Chain A
């Protein structure tokens, strides 16, 4: 990988109480790179993401973001280093309007860039523009997901981690979300994508990483990985 390292994890372990979930995971996300994270349910994908972001306290190993050691950092410190998170289940604020959700999150990037201002986010998601004064709870599932991604973009991040962003959405909306992920890639933001549609993930990523029982079992350039091999690991 020639790209500059943005997020790097070495020998990552994580526990939920007494259950050992991650067993020495190494992971790399280069600047501007898209990595697809694949694996069956319960294989540790979400735990890996949550550990990288500092949400899992019982962890071990080294994590760095933009060259800074964040092995012991708390979630807001990692977020401030430019890593935005679109969690599974959307994670919008139901008691705030679309406008408030976006404005609250808005901040310049670490080097002061404000490319993703309010107008640009609305341009990317025209549907949100028509719902600015609606509360988060009043939005459809697809709109909530757009708001969640929009809010992540409003922080002008260097990286966005999307956990199951298309889950439970209608096919047309899924297309729309993938279009936006494409836009994010083109904008030069590094992305880590977790999704069930492994073919789509492989098509949209530079590299894929497959997790099994908390270990990386396959890693490689998305173009060179055979779909049959992925299907074997994913049990599909």
Chain B
């Protein structure tokens, strides 16, 4: 459970402090990489809410992310900065509405059908941006002017500066994490956990599970859209691949790698996935083999999942269990 006990709070604070200090020691590449990872961590958290907490395996999360990102770019006039304070809500609203629409239909299915139908709706959105004038084709669209963040003439954040974007992404990650941690401890969050364990029992206990699942699905889409806004502002470029099933699949790998059922598993998973990807793509280490980075990444992920069924987030527990078992066994031997 998240934030159970003071130790976890201290650990979380230490991680946030380390991330906050990172730009002081990192170069441009490092700042850019960690900014991207933190945005993907927000996106992974949105999926964790569905898969890890509610038991709904969504294979179309990229669609909400892509819609959020595209909305930012498409709603910005070509040579004029737009205030982030209405651009972000607008883009999040677009993703939220699509999630509400998709959720209201797909939540009538379950199991494998649910997975396939979420994939189908995501691919539908993908082709809208890929093949229609709305999405302006496969090459993607540039955001020529990043949004402004001015209040009464005072610029709060300059999105043109990578370090500012880094701190915005960090703040977004902390806020999303804290929001979900509080939400999951509420009655609503417990109801989602109940639905994950046994939906029929929840109905027998008087919960309209469809409404709860739809709320979770829509909220998850909203958070994914929010991550899309951050991504569009950071990269100032969007293309249909943001909505593609590859990204939806990678997100599932991230949260499985990190450990389902724990919020920080999603964050660890996003970092681990991206860092492994960078590692295997490094020509300095692998030379020409770096071209085949997917092979190395895939094998590593298979090994990690096989060795750590609870994911990276379950590693401390697995280690402490192993340590606890050893003395117990030797005590048994002496008796």
Interface residues of A (CB under 8 A from B): 53, 55, 74-76, 79-80, 84-85, 87, 91, 93-96, 100, 103-105, 107, 151, 155
Contacts and interface: CB of A to CB of B under 8 A. Distances in A.
Nearest to A79: B206
| Interface size range of chain B in the complex | 10 to 19
B205 A105 contact: yes
Interface of B: 187, 190-191, 193-194, 196-198, 200-209, 261
A107 B187 CA distance: 11
A84 B208 CA distance: 15
B193 A155 contact: no
A75 B194 contact: no
B324 to A, nearest CB: 16
A85 B193 contact: no
Contacts of A85: 204-205
A194 to B, nearest CB: 15
Given A76-B206, A87-B201, A104-B191, 18 more contacts: A53-B204, A74-B203, A75-B200, A75-B203, A76-B202, A76-B203, A93-B194, A94-B197, A96-B193, A96-B194, A96-B197, A100-B193, A103-B190, A104-B187, A104-B205, A105-B205, A107-B206, A155-B205
Main secondary structure of the interface of B (DSSP, over half): helix
Given A103-B187, A104-B187, A95 B204 contact: no
B191 A91 contact: no
A80 B206 contact: yes
Nearest to B195: A93
A96 B190 contact: yes
A22 B191 CA distance: 33
Nearest to B55: A95
Nearest to A74: B203
B193 A79 contact: no
A74 to B, nearest CB: 7
B103 to A, nearest CB: 18
